[in-house]
Structure 1
Amino acid sequence: MKDQAAPGGGTEATSPRRLSTREAAERLGVKPETVYAYVSRGQLSSSRAPGGRGSTFDAAEIDALARRTGRRAPSPAPGDLVFRTGITLIEDDRYYFRGVDATELARQYAYEEVAEWLWTGELRPGIRFTAPAEALAAARRAVDALPAHSGSTDRLRVAVVAAATTDPLRFDLSREAVLAAARSLVPTLVSALPRAAGAPPEPGGAPDASGAGLARRLWPKLTARPADEPSLAVLDTALALLIDHDLAASTLAARVAASAHAHPYAVVSAGLGVLEGPLHGAASGLAHRMLTEVLERGSAAPVVADHLRTGRRVPGLGHRLYTSEDPRARTLFALLAEVPRAAGALAAARDVVTTMARHAPLLANVDLALAVLSVSCGMPAEAGETVFAVSRTAGWIAHALEEYGERPLRMRPSGQYGGPRPPQPLPVPTGEPPR
């Protein structure tokens, strides 16, 4: 436990009808001005109404936004795939873990404590996860065999596979067995990563023998700079904040794997495979590079201008699930303000938001906050992705536990075939004349 006190509709896919601004506002449960705010943030598209008076909106797009934001929306239409979950709720620009404000949990409890809360609904102050010696040895051997240019996500994927081979009980999908695997896998991933270049050598003895929390063990894997308590608090809070965020792409992949009754290591491998995309876990690296350039050039204006001129999206801004600032970013910015060495990068991030506001009302998301941490603490651009991957491992396990209790293989959509209609003649091998 940290120092603070403990915290107390469906789509109408078949309807071609478009909605007026008033109808869209009523369906979303917001004011008409808010509908136009969604358009300005890129969360909705609109068309001019016939005669050029007002705008119209696609009903299916309105209903999808209503589901994402927790606004009023019709019940899911028959055939829609709906996931029953008791893990995360995103509503009114806040998000909750099992009904408790996630930002409060993350500020007051360590990563392992929040993970336990998400997995079990029980708060266990002071809990620490330990990497089994055999799993860690196998993971380190596998990671050490990779080429030097391998990225952190490459190393984590290999470490997961290596750790799985040492667990003969990995196919036991009972709740107790899955939780035991999770509590050992997360620290194995952290301890298997190589230390940052220039970081002091690892002290003797078992890597987890000190009883240090996960954030302290992860720190020397990200930077050679010594850890100070305010910076460690930011890292630990970031780990806790990122554990889950409803059905992100990687979480959906993890649930699909769990639906096939894949073991928890395979579930995590599925999540890591999707996380590596530039639109998901790797997004913070783009924000890191942008902030570095802002600091080098002394202003955000030319950097933002270059992005817009070349048609590139300015990273670290906007989130489809929030109409205001991402609560994860807001929480991390407040903590980063207490880190003296983060002042420059934090000012650069604020400069980006202010500069971009002249073009579109986009606010900071968690990727920009992770970039402030990585830039100010001498971490590489991929550090945010590493933090994201390690943290989200616990979330994937939480969703796997839920999915194991559902009907197996329920996620089996049907493809809409668009190829040539049969019967077609047998293909002619290349280079041979037709018979």
Structure 2
Amino acid sequence: MTEQPTTTHDREPHDREPGRRPPQRLSTKEAAERLGVKPETLYAYVSRGLLSSHRLQGRRGSTFDAEEVDALAHRGRNVRPATGDEPPATPSAVSLRTGITLITDDHYYFRGVPAVELALTRGYEEAAHWLWTGEARHGVRFTAPEGALAAADRAVAALPAYSTLTDRLRVAAVAAAAADPLRFDLSPSTVTGAAGGLIATLVDALPLAGNRTRRPSGAIARRLWSRLAPQAADDPSISVLQTALVLLIDHDLAASTLAARVAASARAHPYAVVSAALGTVEGQLHGGASGLAHRMLSEVLQRGSAAPVVSDHLRAGRPVPGLGHRLYAGEDPRATALFGLLERVPRAEPVLAAARDVVAASARDVPAHANVDLALAVLSVATGMPAEAGETVFSVARTAGWIAHALEEYAESPLRMRPRGRYDGPMPPQPLP
């Protein structure tokens, strides 16, 4: 899932004060040259809200406010340079040293290893264990401790029937913590042991889908499938889910990962770290994007074309779900990998065609690129999973990444992420209310 998904917004120029000279407008080429970036990156700035653009009637392309372009160029010179051709960081951006994920030139790497290559050749548990320990071990399996799973089962069963899968994950994490007397032991071996058990507990505590009555064993991907899909798993579909879990393990300092590191900086135990991150996933700008893409693809299939669906989103001022990512100028590499695997799933063919129709319908004047949320939505719609399945896959997968960041943070000075507030309230002394 994308962290804060973006699409290109073309805004009308701001209303001007009477007598004020109209602002200078730059063409796409002029604005890109002034910033020293490619046109594709310029539109990525627009999608991030760093620039506004305006399309003149009767002309192709967009124009840009020269003052905004110059301000962005100045801001970019006064912050740490971005890697590759990424948008410059804003002065308030958080920068932390990490050796887990590198994102550059439309690719990303886990500890220097191409993430897509790792996802296509390793299972989720193996990738997680390697990310935590640096040790490659085949046949790794995560098992839920009996006490933790029993506590999680009771807590999840007490929730209202309409509770979301993310609600159940959050409650299961808290229950598992209460059942682990060693949770405050932050030594690496204890943390990684607890992490494997926690991931298994999160999955095993979810209700079974369809008419299943027995909990399956085996890899996390197959166990998670039984909680999301009403139909039996076939090998191509399991391969997509397995790969998605590895691809989503980490993606640099997304909002939930930053929350995890803040908790770890305060020396919260790993269960609390995951709980803090899961709370951030609940934010509508972080975890829910794949659900929106799921509903959009379902509507495209129902109406037979993406054009009216895309038009409805734009008319309502809503971004088209599943398109664009602030860290990639082209297609999200996670989406590319999953689309390739989805081509081998026969029942995904019409949904995959609908997703490509959405991209084509959204790319008339400005390039549109799919992100991982759209790929997850293809999987969930094609296999009869609920709309929230993508968010659940993201949360389970990212738990391994949150633990990896917690392990890094435990090795740093505690409470190092304590920002100073910049007070802008009334100056004292003020009268008592």
- TM norm structure 1: 0.85
What's the CA shift for 1:385? 0.4
- 1:300 maps to amino acid: A
SS in 1 for 2:379: helix
The answer to whether residue 122 in structure 2 is matched with residue 109 in structure 1 is: yes
Q: 1:180 aligns with which of 168, 193, 196?
A: 193
Give the equivalent residue in structure 1 for 2:66: 49
Which residue is equivalent to 2:377? Answer: 371
Mark the CA change 1:244 to 1:74 in structure 2 (over 3 Å): closer, same or farther. closer
Equivalent AA in structure 2 for residue 390 of structure 1 = V
**Distance verdict in 2 for CA 1:375–1:76, change over 3 Å:** closer
Amino acid at match of 1:115: A
Q: More relative contact order in 1 or in 2 (CA 8 Å, sep 6+)?
A: 2
Question: 1:88–1:96: 8 Å Cα contact kept in structure 2?
Answer: yes
8 Å CA contact 2:79–2:88 kept in 1: the answer is no
Is 1:246 the counterpart of 2:258? The answer is no
Match of 2:164 among 127, 145, 151: 151
Q: Deviations over 1:84-112 (max 9, x none)?
A: 11100001000000100000100111101
Identity between Structure 1 and Structure 2 (%): 64
**Could you say which residue in structure 1 is the equivalent of 2:144?**
131
Q: Which residue pairs with 1:399 in the alignment? A: 405
Match of 1:233 in 2: 239
Match of 2:350 in 1: 344
**Matched residue SS, 1:58:** helix
Residue 80 to residue 246, structure 1, CA distance change in 2 (3 Å):
closer
Partners of 1:75 and 1:146 in 2: how far apart? 42
Choose which of 25, 29, 35 in structure 2 pairs with 1:24: 35
Q: 1:188 to 1:20 in 2, by over 3 A?
A: same
Task: Measure, in 1, the Cα distance between the counterparts of 2:266 and 2:401.
Answer: 18
Q: Following the alignment from structure 1 to structure 2, what is the Cα–Cα distance between the partners of residues 69 and 43? A: 19
- Aligned residue among 111, 134, 138 for 1:98: 111
Matched residues in 2 for 1:166 and 1:140: separation? 12
Query: Deviation of residue 355 (structure 1)?
Result: 0.2
Cα deviation, residue 234, structure 1: 0.3
Residue 82 (structure 1) shift: 2.8
| Separation of aligned partners in 1, 2:386 and 2:128 | 26
| Deviation of the 1:81 alpha carbon | 4.7
- Superimposed CA distance per residue, residues 112-138 of structure 1 (whole angstroms, 9 cap, x where no aligned partner): 111112111221111111111111111
Which amino acid in the other structure matches residue 56 of structure 1? D
One-letter code aligned to 2:415: L
Structure 1 residue 319 corresponds to structure 2 residue 293: no
Deviation at 1:236, TM superposition (A): 0.5
Kept after mapping to 2: 8 A contact 1:199/1:220: no
Task: Check conservation: 1:44, 1:62, Cα contact below 8 A.
Answer: no
Q: Residue 9 of structure 1 aligns with which residue?
A: none
Secondary structure of 1:234's aligned partner: helix
Cross-structure match for 1:360: 366
Q: Contact between 1:332 and 1:369, CA under 8 Å: does it hold in 2?
A: yes
Change (3 A) 1:169 1:67: farther
Q: Distance in 2 between matches of 1:392 and 1:314?
A: 24
Residue type at the aligned position of 1:24: L
1:48 Cα shift? Answer: 3.4
Question: What is the number of equivalent residue pairs in this alignment?
Answer: 393
* Structure-2 change in CA distance of 1:80 and 1:216 (3 Å): closer
- The 2-side partners of 1:375 and 1:313 are apart by 20
2:133 counterpart of 1:120: yes
CA gap 1:164/1:63 in 2 versus in 1, 3 angstroms:
farther
CA contact (8 A) 1:45 1:57 kept: no
Question: Is the alpha carbon distance of 1:82 and 1:105 closer, same or farther for their aligned partners in structure 2, counting shifts above 3 Å?
Answer: same
Is the 2:34–2:69 Cα contact (8 Å) retained in structure 1?
no
By how many angstroms is 1:329 displaced?
Answer: 0.3
Q: How does 1:213-232 map to 2 (within 5 A)?
A: 213-232=219-238
Where 1:56 maps in the other structure, the secondary structure is: helix
1:426 deviates by: 1.5
**How far is the alpha carbon of 1:55 from its aligned partner?**
5.4
Structure 1: 5+ residue stretches without partners: 1-18, 428-435
Q: Structure 1's 337 and 62: CA in aligned 2 closer, same or farther, altered over 3 A? A: farther
Maintained 8 Å contact 1:69/1:321: no
Q: 1:328 to 1:60 in 2, by over 3 A?
A: farther
Q: How does 1:244-393 map to 2 (within 5 A)?
A: 244-393=250-399
Instruction: Answer whether contact 2:323 2:369 (CA < 8 A) is retained.
Output: yes
Cα offsets for 1:183-232 (capped at 9, x unmatched): 11001100000011x232115xxx64xxx110001111002111000000
Question: d(CA) in 2 for partners of 1:293 and 1:65?
Answer: 43
Deviation at 1:172, TM superposition (A): 0.6
Superposed displacement of residue 35, structure 1: 4.6
In structure 2, what is the equivalent of residue 191 of structure 1?
Answer: 204
| Change beyond 3 A, Cα 1:315–1:131 | same
Q: Which amino acid aligns with 1:48?
A: D
Write out aligned runs for 1:412-431 (5 A).
Answer: 412-427=418-433
| Equivalent pair of 2:348/2:379 in contact (CA under 8 Å) | yes
Query: Deviation string for 1:16-50 (max 9, x for gaps)?
Result: xxx9754521xxxx5x5455343465564164338
Change (3 A) 1:157 1:55: closer
Name the residue aligned to 1:59. Answer: 73
Q: Any idea what SS the aligned residue of 2:251 has?
A: coil
Q: Which amino acid aligns with 2:331?
A: E
CA drift of 1:59 comes to 3.1
